[in-house]
């Protein structure tokens, strides 16, 4: 195994650490998990990530199983890539965005197809799904007006925050958000998709 091994699946937030590894020019290998075969629930993968989800990043020190932690780790191990702001306030704002994306936006998105995580009654799932477009649109409003302060999330500097935001915001249109309401976010998504580290990863996630 190379120094890093990323376990990932198409259509998931695992795109984020994949992009970060490219951006950092890190040495890594990929291990694809097939959700259509429920490989994430099989003992072989559960031995790597007991949460039964992706991504998981194997390192020489151990295994990381949360996206934000992976982005921070990749950045710390490759300081030359300058993926983390040096200014304490900017760094805190990046962590704030990480937490918002993980704890609020991703959860709102997941209610569209994973209602079983919150209820054992299938009759409640349609109500959860019906709320997704409103919740995601409100999240997009905040990102458009409060978080996307420049061409990048942290202003003029490209950071890990842009990688995470791009990965999550790609889901917004499919979640029912009217992207014509978010010109700055739409421009950001278009700009990011053309970045070499992003374009290279995207080809493998389609």
For the whole model, what pTM was predicted?
0.95
pLDDT in tens, 42-90: 999 999 999 999 999 999 999 999 999 999 999 999 999 999 999 999 9
**Residue 137 parent element (H or E):** helix 125-142
**What average pLDDT is seen over the chain?**
96
Q: Is the pLDDT of residue 197 over 60?
A: yes
Where are the strands (E) in the chain, listed by range? 4-8, 28-32, 56-58, 63-64
Residues 152 and 161: their CA atoms lie apart, in Å, by 8
- Check the CA dihedral 23-105-8-77 and report its sign: positive
| Across 87-102, average pLDDT | 97
Residues 128, 131, 137, 141, Cα dihedral to 10°: -100
| Across 91-103, average pLDDT | 97
Per-residue confidence band for 3, with pLDDT thresholds at 50, 70 and 90: confident
Residues 202 and 198: their CA atoms lie apart, in Å, by 6
| Across 146-162, average pLDDT | 94
Name the residue with higher pLDDT: 172 or 2: 172
Per-residue confidence band for 1, with pLDDT thresholds at 50, 70 and 90: very low
């Amino acid at each position: 195994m190379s120094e890093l091994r990323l376990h990932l699946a198409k259509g998931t937030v695992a795109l984020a650490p994949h992009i970060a590894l490219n951006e950092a020019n890190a040495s890594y290998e990929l291990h694809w998990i097939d959700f259509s075969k429920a490989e994430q629930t099989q003992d072989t993968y559960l031995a790597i990530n007991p949460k039964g989800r992706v991504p998981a990043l194997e390192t020489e020190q151990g295994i990381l199983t949360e996206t934000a932690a992976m982005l921070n780790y990749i950045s710390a191990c490759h300081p030359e890539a300058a993926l983390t702001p040096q200014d304490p306030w900017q760094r805190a704002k990046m962590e704030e965005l990480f937490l918002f994306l993980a704890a609020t936006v991703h959860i709102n998105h997941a209610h569209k197809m994973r209602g079983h995580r919150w209820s054992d009654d299938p009759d409640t799932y349609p109500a959860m799904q019906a709320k997704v477009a409103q919740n995601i649109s409100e999240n997009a409003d905040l990102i458009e007006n409060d978080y996307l302060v420049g061409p990048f999330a942290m202003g003029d500097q490209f950071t890990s925050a842009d990688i995470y935001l791009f990965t999550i915001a790609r889901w917004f249109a499919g979640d029912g958000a009217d992207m014509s309401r978010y010109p700055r976010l739409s421009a950001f998504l278009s700009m990011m998709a053309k970045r070499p580290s992003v374009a290279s990863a995207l080809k493998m996630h389609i």
